[in-house]
Chains A and B, each alone.
Chain A
Amino acid sequence: MTAVTRDIAVVAFAQSDVLRSTAEQSEVEMLMPVLHDVLDRTGLKTGDIGFTCSGSCDYLAGRAFSFTLALDGVGAWPPISESHVEMDGAWALYEAWTKLLSGDADTALVYSYGKSSPGSVRDVLTRQLDPYYVAPLWPDSVALAALQAQALIDAGDTDEPALAGIGARSRATDNTRAQLRGSVPQGDYVVRPLRTGDCPPVGDGAAAVILAAGERARELCSRPAWIRGIDHRIEAHGLGVRDLTDSPSTRLAAEKAGAFERPLDTAELHAPFSSQEVVLCKALGLDGNVRVNPSGGALAANPMMAAGLIRIGEAASRIHRGESDRALAHATSGPCLQQNLVAVLEGDPR
């Protein structure tokens, strides 16, 4: 099969501060400044955008069709070409990428948002699980990640001090948008072997990205972050049929995205738990030459449904700023890294 060849880049990225609670703002009130910010960075207006795609999840805030009201923040008038995934915004970006690839549009606005503060996200996420055999036991997201962490420890892939080091390194970021920064106590066990410091902060936030194709990308950004490859894969749902110490779907997506063809300098990994960073680094074969999560990753800020898109945005921003030439961005969904997306971004040679 002949691939359609069209160079597509992330040309702008914006995100909100990630906060423990944004009760004073409705979802659209939280999202709208981010949309304005990302459009301002390119000088584009809603009417200039060829395709818009968003990612969010009704279950987070407990309201059906929450995305229909978020659309108010876009200003979808005259009507726009638009779609929505009930997934992290990274997959909305994937859908938009295919739309640019097919030539249907030259620019795309991608956004996502999540408010975890209204509910108890640990309990909400139990509703993602097999509704017959697993969800009735209410195993929360930390418990499942802890089972994975123990499997890693048993396999000799990590230990508790190493996990604590991942959290500490993540929160040593200079990312001012992050919810948790600096020295944070590792704390007590939440579900053993995971301690507070191994778990992501619960918070609210929004993010937006603009994609553009070919020359349009060069007009809109002095150093576009070209998407050299992007792919995503899903694994079996049952934890008991998977090897929790590995992430074959991440490896396959990375291979399809061309991640292994040339060395990377940066990786933005969506690892909500410290132990999951171990799994991802192992699956991707990342060594000390790759800077992992300079943004702090999900351990510093994890706005559900936006945290994956933020990884792509953070990787792209480093390319925009000239701090990276070739970066990998990763997003995950589902229990214990069930579904994974990998994008490889590059800047023009300097």
Chain B
Amino acid sequence: MPEVLKAPLVVEFPFTRSLGPVQSAFLTGLRERVVLGVRTRDGRTLVPPVEYDPVTAEEIRDLVEVAPTGTVTTWAWNHEPRRGQPLSSPFAWVLVRLDGADTALLHVLDAPGPDAVRTGMRVRVRWAEDRVGAITDIACFEPYDGDPAQPTGHSGEFEAPVTGIVAPARLDYTYSPGRAQTAYINALADRRAVGERCPSCRKVYVPPRGACPTCGVATSEQVEVGPAGTVTTFCIVNIKAKNLDIEVPYVYAHIALDGADLALHGRIGGIPYDQVRMGLRVEPVWTEGGRYPDHYRPTGEPDADYEIYKELL
């Protein structure tokens, strides 16, 4: 069996997250070097402040300032920081219960090594130099042996509060299309459309997906189809899609290649867009280096009869 294809797949987006009042106050506070918690009805102070009481599910809005100093409740030494993590040199992950809080905040601790970290040690916030209203406005925690800092009793009201954050996220994958699609894509390199026939119902799938979707069995018998086919249905695209360098209007069509039992999709060219019709006979047009046909153009044959392709829309 030939080697399966593999290629990088990057899933990346800068998500725009609106915050709501409690999270807005907390993150704005960090910008202003103020740490806020939220008080539950039974008097616990939760830091970081959440919008809903995890015990009673009540909505909670009673903000209260706590100290930027606190105590490590557990820790873990990370000798190999990963992309996106707050520090690029080895650090400790920590849960810190800030002075005045009843719950712990997850962040990182800058320390020389694991021997310098223990549960129960005292730490304080090290503020980031550039603060924008985000959890990363706390650059990290650092060891601290002074007295608990005294909160100033901030009200939680700020000038120009942040109401949203942009959270960029990037994940890197290695994509492989598997056996059947690899064979199909490799054949396309020779400008051949090779599908697979179901051993049970005998239908030919192009592109093959490795399984006959109606019979639930593996397909393996390779069948070359096309190159010509029939436009079974289509639409005229008048709106320019992002990342597509095609002048509108153009025709996007379902094309049943001769010998295939399922239509595939392609663009129709070589004919004015308003003259494309169901039943039009077409053939692929390749461009240098293209993995797929650039488009399909009329063959000049008479149109196919609707009865012949009506199951292949």
Alpha-carbon gap, A134 to B79, bound state (A): 20
Show 19 A/B contacts (Cβ-Cβ < 8 Å), sorted by A.
Answer: A23-B176, A24-B4, A26-B177, A29-B211, A119-B174, A132-B165, A133-B135, A134-B106, A136-B84, A137-B106, A138-B82, A143-B78, A146-B76, A147-B75, A147-B94, A189-B79, A194-B76, A239-B95, A241-B103
A238 and B54 contact, CB distance less than 8 A: yes
Tell me which of A25, A140, A147, A192 contacts B179 (CB under 8 A): A25
Alpha-carbon gap, A194 to B74, bound state (A): 14
6 nearest CB pairs, A to B:
A75-B216, A26-B178, A146-B76, A240-B104, A236-B54, A138-B84
Interface centre among A26, A117, A127, A193 (most CB of B within 10 A): A26
Interface flags, A1-36, vs B, CB<8A=1, else 0: 000000000000000000000011111110010011
B209 within 8 A of A: yes
B9 and A62 contact, CB distance less than 8 A: yes
Q: Report chain B residues within 8 Å CB of A150.
A: 74-76, 119
Interface flags, A139-151, vs B, CB<8A=1, else 0: 1100110111111
| Shortest Cβ gap from A132 to chain B (Å) | 5
Tell me which of B54, B97, B107, B174 contacts A118 (CB under 8 A): B174
Interface flags, A72-85, vs B, CB<8A=1, else 0: 11111100000000
The bracket for how many chain A residues form the interface is 35 or more
A184 within 8 A of B: no
A76 and B213 contact, CB distance less than 8 A: yes
Q: Report chain A residues within 8 Å CB of B167.
A: 131, 135-136
B136 within 8 A of A: yes
Q: Report chain A residues within 8 Å CB of B136.
A: 136-137
Alpha-carbon gap, A244 to B134, bound state (A): 26
Interface flags, A157-194, vs B, CB<8A=1, else 0: 00000000000000000000000000000000101111
Interface flags, B20-48, vs A, CB<8A=1, else 0: 00010011000000000000000000111
Say whether, besides A29-B211, A236-B54, A240-B106, A189 and B77 are in contact (CB < 8 Å).
yes
Alpha-carbon gap, A126 to B169, bound state (A): 10
A233 within 8 A of B: no
Alpha-carbon gap, A73 to B218, bound state (A): 8
User: B residues bordering A, Cβ < 8 Å?
Assistant: 1, 4, 6, 9, 11, 15, 17, 19, 23, 26-27, 46-48, 50, 54-55, 73-79, 82-86, 93-95, 97, 103-108, 114, 119, 134-136, 165, 167, 169, 171-181, 209-218
| Shortest Cβ gap from B169 to chain A (Å) | 7
Q: Report chain B residues within 8 Å CB of A240.
A: 47-48, 73, 95, 97, 103-106
B17 and A191 contact, CB distance less than 8 A: no
For B75, the closest partner residue in chain A by CB is A150
Alpha-carbon gap, A69 to B211, bound state (A): 10
For A236, the closest partner residue in chain B by CB is B54
A75 and B135 contact, CB distance less than 8 A: no
Say whether, besides A62-B9, A127-B169, A136-B135, A24 and B179 are in contact (CB < 8 Å).
yes
For B170, the closest partner residue in chain A by CB is A123
Alpha-carbon gap, A38 to B152, bound state (A): 65
A18-70: which residues lie under 8 A (CB-CB) from chain B? 23-29, 32, 35-36, 46, 59, 61-62, 69
Say whether, besides A25-B179, A62-B171, A147-B76, A131 and B15 are in contact (CB < 8 Å).
yes
| Shortest Cβ gap from A41 to chain B (Å) | 16
B82 and A23 contact, CB distance less than 8 A: no
Alpha-carbon gap, A124 to B172, bound state (A): 9
A290 within 8 A of B: no
A120 within 8 A of B: yes
B213 and A77 contact, CB distance less than 8 A: yes
| Shortest Cβ gap from B243 to chain A (Å) | 17
Q: Report chain B residues within 8 Å CB of A237.
A: 54
A73 and B211 contact, CB distance less than 8 A: yes
| Shortest Cβ gap from A129 to chain B (Å) | 9
Q: Report chain A residues within 8 Å CB of B50.
A: 238, 241
Q: Report chain B residues within 8 Å CB of A71.
A: 213
Say whether, besides A32-B218, A192-B76, A192-B79, A137 and B86 are in contact (CB < 8 Å).
yes
B78 and A191 contact, CB distance less than 8 A: yes
Q: Report chain B residues within 8 Å CB of A25.
A: 178-179, 210
| Shortest Cβ gap from A84 to chain B (Å) | 16
Alpha-carbon gap, A77 to B200, bound state (A): 13
A26 and B209 contact, CB distance less than 8 A: yes
